[in-house]
């Protein structure tokens, strides 16, 4: 075939798939459409009487939000107390997971001693620990922090440990060739290479903390979003139940976006 002959449609070069997030305008437009579409779908579904008996409509949830906000500040207090529990449990888990994950990844003996217990605990739902935690700590705030801590810690330690294991061995060999010590390898290669995994682990840990919040507040409490949801469930008040669920979702969404912003700022070198 002559070099000047045009390629047939089947032989033309394929366009490389675009894996980027697209333009900011397009992203926000699609997000807005998605949110509005979701609320419209929710509204039309709840027009069916049989569904409305167990799923409150957007109007009912909005009315509950107004009444809860106006009534002695209970709604804001629930948010504040639950957010405090999540942040304390998550913060303790984050601080503890990093050194343990690095020790597991750096020292095989530590890994062989600790990893079986980490994998074992991962299979146990945090809610199953509630009776033991209550017996050990009572009904105050410590058991709530503990339940959230366990859920977040297990997620983060595994994620960060995986990051340490995935460090490019070629970089380590090259550093050894130039006479780098173990300390230099750890500080200059392992930590920077694992840093993105630390931030991903933080996002996963935050999600685990929020999903465990209601279970944590089963240890006995008067205030908190989980406690409010449980109380409303007993009276079949689905509008309050949905309000609490949506509030937890919004808090999680905001916190995840904050962590994502931090991740992009701190890992711009990737």
Q: With helix as H, strand as E and coil as C, how does the chain read? A: CCCCCCCCHHHCCCCCCCCCCCCHHHHHHHHHHHHHHHHHHHHHHCCCHHHHCCCCCHHHHHHHHHHHHHCCCHHHHHHHHHHHHHHHHHHHHHHHHHHHHHHHHHCHHHHHHHHHHHHHHHCCCHHHHHHHHHHHHCCCCHHHHHHHHHHHHHHHHHHHHHHHHCCCHHHHHHHHHCCCCHHHHHHHHHHHHHHHHHHHHHHHHHHHHHHCHHHHHHHCCCCCHHHHHHHHHHCCCHHHHHHHHHHHHHHHHHHHHHHHHHHHHHCCCC
| Residue 28, domain member (yes or no) | no
| Residue 52, domain member (yes or no) | no
Q: What percentage of the chain has pLDDT greater than the value 90?
A: 17
Q: What percentage of the chain has pLDDT greater than the value 70?
A: 88
| Residue 36, domain member (yes or no) | no
For the stretch 163-191, pLDDT in tens is 888 777 777 777 777 777 777 777 777 77
The chain-wide mean pLDDT, for the chain, equals: 83
Q: Which pTM does this prediction carry? A: 0.80
| Residue 32, domain member (yes or no) | no
State the CATH number of the domain containing residue 182.
Answer: 1.10.3720.10
Q: Which domain holds residue 83?
A: 57-266
| Residue 9, domain member (yes or no) | no
| Residue 101, domain member (yes or no) | yes
| Residue 84, domain member (yes or no) | yes
| Residue 1, domain member (yes or no) | no
Q: What is the domain count for the chain?
A: 1
pLDDT of 232 = 82
């Amino acid at each position: 075939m002559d070099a000047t002959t045009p390629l047939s449609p089947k032989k033309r070069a394929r366009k490389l798939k675009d894996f980027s997030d697209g333009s900011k305008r397009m992203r926000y437009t699609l997000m807005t459409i998605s949110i509005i579409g979701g609320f419209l779908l929710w509204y039309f579904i709840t027009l069916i009487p049989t569904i409305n008996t167990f799923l409150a409509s957007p109007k009912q949830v909005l009315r509950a939000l107004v009444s809860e906000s106006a009534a002695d500040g209970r709604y804001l207090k629930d948010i504040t107390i639950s957010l405090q529990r999540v942040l304390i449990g998550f913060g303790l888990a984050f601080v503890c997971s990093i050194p343990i994950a690095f020790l597991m990844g750096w020292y095989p003996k530590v890994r062989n001693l600790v990893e079986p217990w980490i994998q074992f605990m991962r299979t146990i739902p945090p809610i199953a620990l509630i009776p033991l935690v209550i017996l050990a700590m009572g009904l105050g705030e410590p058991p709530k922090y503990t339940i959230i801590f366990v859920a977040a810690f297990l997620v983060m330690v595994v994620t960060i440990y995986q990051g340490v294991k995935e460090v490019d061995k070629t970089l380590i060999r090259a550093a050894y060739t130039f006479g780098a010590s173990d300390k230099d390898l750890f500080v200059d290669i392992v930590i920077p290479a694992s840093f993105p995994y630390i931030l991903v682990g933080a996002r996963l840990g935050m999600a685990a903390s929020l999903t465990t919040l209601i279970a944590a507040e089963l240890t006995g409490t008067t205030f908190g979003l989980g406690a409010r949801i449980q109380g409303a469930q007993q009276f079949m008040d689905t509008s309050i139940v949905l309000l609490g669920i949506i509030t937890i979702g919004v808090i999680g969404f905001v916190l995840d976006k904050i962590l994502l912003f931090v991740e992009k700022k701190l890992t711009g070198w990737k």
